[in-house]
C-alpha cells in the first residue's frame, strides 16, 4: 500500500493524481543527476514494482484503478522529466504537460485506460502520458534554444 499510494500521497483528499505527480517531481529532484542508464533503470524498476503493487491494491480495495494508487503518476512524471534541465520553468512545464496528458487521455492513452486492466493497465496509460509530455517538453526546450 505504501508504494502504490506514493508514500500515502494517494490518500490526500483532493486530486490524488496531482499529489502523486508532485511526489514524482520530488523524486526527480533526488535522482535527476544519476547517469542516464541508471536513471532509466530506476524508472524501469519503479514500473515493475508499480505493476505489482497497483494490481495488489486494486484487489485489496476491490475497485478497478483506485484513485489512491499514484505510483503510476510518479513513474509517468519521472518519464516526463527525463533529461530535463534542472530549471524551475522546465519542472513546471513537465509537471503541467504530464498532468494535461494524464487527464485528457489522447489516443492511445484512452484505449489503454479502457482496455488494459490490472496493474499493467494502471501503469501503462501513465507511461504513455509521460512519453507524450517528454516529447513535447523537449520539443519546447529545443525551440526555445533556437530563438
pLDDT tens for each residue of 61-113: 999 999 999 999 999 999 999 999 999 999 999 999 999 999 999 999 999 99
Domain-embedded: residue 15: yes
Domain-embedded: residue 14: yes
Enclosing H/E stretch for 47: helix 36-61
Q: What's the average model confidence in pLDDT over 128-132?
A: 98
Number of domains the chain contains:
1
The cell numbers describing 127, all together, are 507511461
Helix or strand or coil: residue 87?
Answer: coil
Domain-embedded: residue 50: yes
Q: Read off the pLDDT band of 13 (50, 70, 90).
A: confident
Domain-embedded: residue 94: yes
pTM recorded for the entire structure: 0.96
Domain-embedded: residue 2: no
Q: What's the average model confidence in pLDDT over 27-54?
A: 98
- Give the domain range for residue 76: 9-146
**Cβ atoms 20, 34 nearer than 8 A:** no
Amino acid at each position: 500500500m505504501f508504494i502504490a499510494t506514493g508514500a500515502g500521497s494517494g490518500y490526500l483528499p483532493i486530486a490524488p493524481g496531482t499529489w502523486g505527480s508532485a511526489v514524482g517531481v520530488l523524486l526527480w529532484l533526488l535522482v535527476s543527476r544519476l547517469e542516464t542508464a541508471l536513471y532509466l533503470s530506476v524508472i524501469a524498476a519503479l514500473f515493475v514494482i508499480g505493476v505489482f503493487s497497483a494490481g495488489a491494491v486494486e484487489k485489496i480495495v476491490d475497485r478497478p484503478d483506485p484513485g489512491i494508487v499514484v505510483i503510476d503518476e510518479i513513474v509517468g512524471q519521472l518519464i516526463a522529466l527525463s533529461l530535463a534541465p534542472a530549471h524551475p520553468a522546465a519542472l513546471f512545464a513537465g509537471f503541467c504537460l504530464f498532468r494535461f496528458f494524464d487527464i485528457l487521455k489522447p489516443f492511445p492513452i484512452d484505449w489503454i485506460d479502457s482496455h488494459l486492466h490490472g496493474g499493467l493497465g494502471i501503469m501503462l496509460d501513465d507511461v504513455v502520458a509521460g512519453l507524450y509530455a517528454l516529447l513535447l517538453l523537449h520539443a519546447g526546450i529545443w525551440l526555445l534554444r533556437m530563438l
